[in-house]
A and B are shown apart, each in its own frame.
Chain A
Amino acid sequence: MASATTTPRRRSTDRRRGETGDPEQKGRGLRRGGKSHTVGRRREERAAWILALPFLVLFLTFTAWPVIQSTFMSLTDTQARDLRTPFAVDFVGLDNFSQALADPIFRQAAFNTAYFVLVGVPLTLTMALAAALALDKGIGKFRSFFRLGFYTPVVTSIVAVAVVWRFLLHPDAGLVNTVIGWVGVDGPNWLGSTTWAMPSLIAMASWRNFGTAMIIFLAGLQSVPWSLHEAAAIDGANAVQRFRHITLPLLKPTILFVSVTTAIGYLQFFEEPFVMTDGGPLNSTISASMYTFQQFSFGNYGYAAALSYLIFVVIVIVTAIQFRVLRERD
């Protein structure tokens, strides 16, 4: 986004393109007139659609159509055996949705997902902001070295790190309990406990993901003018006060943006319980996505579609909030 706003205005000699060079501007003047212009215009239009065609075909087939189809499917009792005749199924109205809301496991999964998001997002953001602040103004050397290190987990497969963390959290042979044992704490059986399994997954997710938020915070901190800090420091404000009254308000749009994108990701968490706990113990870590996948593998396609639709609705609401927030920023 930044690249678009900082681009110097193109100074086109061609009036045809209008004065601003803004492609979104509607009703651009086509004042050159004459036949050659119409031919050129038609050629441009044809070229644009040729360029867009492969994308459109793939996009409409594999994204747009399934989105529409999922609406339909969520209102039917489609089963795996109906695979070849997706339209010859019974329309059941909103039954799938009322079933979902009454389904104790789905309610548990929704609760777990909310838990994961509501604890995971603040934790991830706090870690990210602390790292970004330390790297932005705290140190002079090795800044990019630390940045690289903190970002590393983000690029790795969640499945692979979940496998590794399962070992790290092993009650006897795990690294975590060994380390906290050094200070005399007897660590629990993390993934085997209904109390500790979810916090363990949240800790792992925050460890893996805080790097992304940190990078965005570092970019956001660039827009906090140092002169404000200097002026406040002269007026006797200490570091904590300056953080609260200068950095934090100026960073607010970035914080909102990052919390929304992180929340959207966390709302779909799936690999962590799939690999580490299989949703257990006693469904204490089953997520909405994981339960949807389970229903799908049982062959309950209509019900699974309804469940994923519910997840989608929540994501749309969160995205809508994001767009509002972004508009306020402009």
Chain B
Amino acid sequence: MSFTQQEPTVRSRWWLYGLLTAALAAVMAPFIWMVLGSFKSNAELRQAPPTWWPEEASFNNYIELFSRLNFGQFFFNSTAVAVVVTAGNLIFCSMVGYALAMLDFRGKNVLFALIMGTLMIPGVVTFVPLFVLVANAGLVNTLPGLMLPFLVAPFGVFLMRQFMIGLPKDLLDAARVDGAGELRIFFRVFLPLCGPALATLGILTFLGSWNNFLWPLVVAQTEDTYTLPVALALYSTGQNATQYGLLLAGATTVVLPVLLVFMVFQRRFIQGIATTGMK
């Protein structure tokens, strides 16, 4: 949506820069303090007033996190779940999105209405019966139990359909004239054109999975299946509640990978939010 209106010459106001910089400092301060704090000792973290720079920076918290506590395992679990969930959404949602955008079939309007109607169903509504279902399938406390319910999402279908509806339909007709099969047309002609939409969906899904909390909290019951947020939440409210250094190192371990991904792909994120209005 680009207006060809004349952009005014913006009079940059110095006080506004000052205000924005102060706001930015307030927004970023918790993260900076978190990272710096993760190198501090417990004793230093208890000091009043608090220190900003670590007096004696050390990696002890991280060493303990990955040796005594099982954070290597949790990191692996979080990554495995997020990768599989993202792959599932990319493949399955783009398949339906294509069918809805390009093909003609009976039941299409019903399917689309179903997807739109469930776009907003929150996890808190379904987790009890979902748990019963997953428990009866013997998947409680397993990684598949963490992955399966999230392999597809109506939001992904909506996003892919919205993108593909803008692709030229002539391609479909041309490929048909050339004798290509319907599925082949999707995989070889259209899917390669969906790069930008796939990137947006992939990033948003990965992020959602990485930060997901309620369902892993319900399903993961021992350390072999904890994801990072579950482990961090349970440690911070349980026996390690006073291990401040450990908790900050844990929080950094959860946040930092996502921040790096975000910095690399930030344009896609912001586009995704702006076009769908959802995160």
Interface string of B212-256 (1 = CB under 8 A from A): 011001100000000011001100110000001001101110110
Residues of chain A lying within 8 A (CB to CB) of residue B34 = 160, 164
- The answer to whether B124 and A311 have CB atoms under 8 Å apart is yes
- The answer to whether A51 and B125 have CB atoms under 8 Å apart is no
- Complex alpha-carbon distance, A301 and B133, angstroms: 13
The reply on B129 being an interface residue by CB < 8 A is: yes
Closest to B47 in A: A173
Residues of chain B lying within 8 A (CB to CB) of residue A319 = 120
- The answer to whether B128 and A150 have CB atoms under 8 Å apart is no
Say which residue of B16, B104, B176, B273 sits within 8 Å of A215 (CB atoms).
B273
Interface string of B1-44 (1 = CB under 8 A from A): 11101111010110011011001101111110110010000000
- The answer to whether A226 and B8 have CB atoms under 8 Å apart is yes
Residues of chain A lying within 8 A (CB to CB) of residue B244 = 167
- The answer to whether A305 and B129 have CB atoms under 8 Å apart is yes
Total contacting residues, chain A, CB less than 8 A = 120
**Known contacts A157-B228, A173-B50: A21-B169 contact under CB 8 Å:** yes
- Complex alpha-carbon distance, A69 and B103, angstroms: 32
- Complex alpha-carbon distance, A14 and B168, angstroms: 12
- The answer to whether A55 and B157 have CB atoms under 8 Å apart is yes
The reply on A40 being an interface residue by CB < 8 A is: yes
Interface string of A265-278 (1 = CB under 8 A from B): 00010110011001
- Chain A interface: which of B55-63, B65-73, B90-98? B90-98
Say which residue of A3, A147, A172, A227 sits within 8 Å of B163 (CB atoms).
A3
Residues of chain B lying within 8 A (CB to CB) of residue A14 = 169, 173
Residues of chain B lying within 8 A (CB to CB) of residue A161 = 30, 251, 255
Say which residue of A54, A164, A181, A216 sits within 8 Å of B273 (CB atoms).
A216
* Chain B, range 81-105, C-beta contacts under 8 Å to A: 88, 91-93, 95-96, 98-105
- Complex alpha-carbon distance, A147 and B24, angstroms: 9
- Complex alpha-carbon distance, A178 and B47, angstroms: 11
- Give the interface centre of A51, A148, A149, A218 by most chain B CB atoms within 10 Å: A51
Total contacting residues, chain B, CB less than 8 A = 122
Residues of chain A lying within 8 A (CB to CB) of residue B2 = 222
- The answer to whether B47 and A148 have CB atoms under 8 Å apart is no
- The answer to whether B23 and A131 have CB atoms under 8 Å apart is yes
- The answer to whether B92 and A54 have CB atoms under 8 Å apart is yes
- The answer to whether A308 and B127 have CB atoms under 8 Å apart is yes
**Known contacts A58-B152, A151-B270: A48-B255 contact under CB 8 Å:** no
Closest to A304 in B: B128
The reply on A59 being an interface residue by CB < 8 A is: yes
- Complex alpha-carbon distance, A54 and B135, angstroms: 22
- Chain B interface: which of A100-108, A116-124, A136-144, A241-249? A136-144
The reply on A200 being an interface residue by CB < 8 A is: no
- The answer to whether A139 and B12 have CB atoms under 8 Å apart is yes
Residues of chain B lying within 8 A (CB to CB) of residue A219 = 1, 274
- Give the interface centre of A3, A47, A149, A160 by most chain B CB atoms within 10 Å: A160
- The answer to whether B46 and A55 have CB atoms under 8 Å apart is no
**Known contacts A3-B162, A28-B104, A62-B148: A301-B277 contact under CB 8 Å:** no
Residues of chain A lying within 8 A (CB to CB) of residue B92 = 54-55, 58
Between A and B, 28 residue pairs with Cβ closer than 8 Å are A3-B163, A23-B102, A24-B112, A45-B104, A48-B99, A58-B151, A62-B148, A63-B126, A67-B121, A152-B259, A156-B254, A157-B229, A158-B213, A160-B34, A163-B250, A167-B45, A168-B33, A175-B33, A207-B30, A215-B273, A218-B274, A227-B5, A270-B213, A270-B214, A271-B229, A274-B233, A304-B128, A308-B128
Beyond contacts A4-B165, A83-B135, A275-B233: 19 other A-B pairs, Cβ-Cβ < 8 A, are A12-B173, A21-B169, A23-B108, A45-B105, A62-B130, A66-B127, A70-B128, A73-B132, A139-B20, A153-B27, A156-B259, A157-B210, A157-B254, A163-B233, A164-B31, A167-B247, A216-B277, A268-B122, A296-B128
CB within 8 Å of A: which residues of B? Answer: 1-3, 5-8, 10, 12-13, 16-17, 19-20, 23-24, 26-31, 33-34, 37, 45-50, 88, 91-93, 95-96, 98-106, 108-109, 111-112, 114, 118, 120-133, 135-136, 148-149, 151-152, 154, 157, 162-163, 165-166, 168-170, 173, 176, 181-183, 186, 207, 210-211, 213-214, 217-218, 228-229, 232-233, 236-237, 244, 247-248, 250-252, 254-255, 258-259, 262-263, 266, 269-270, 273-279
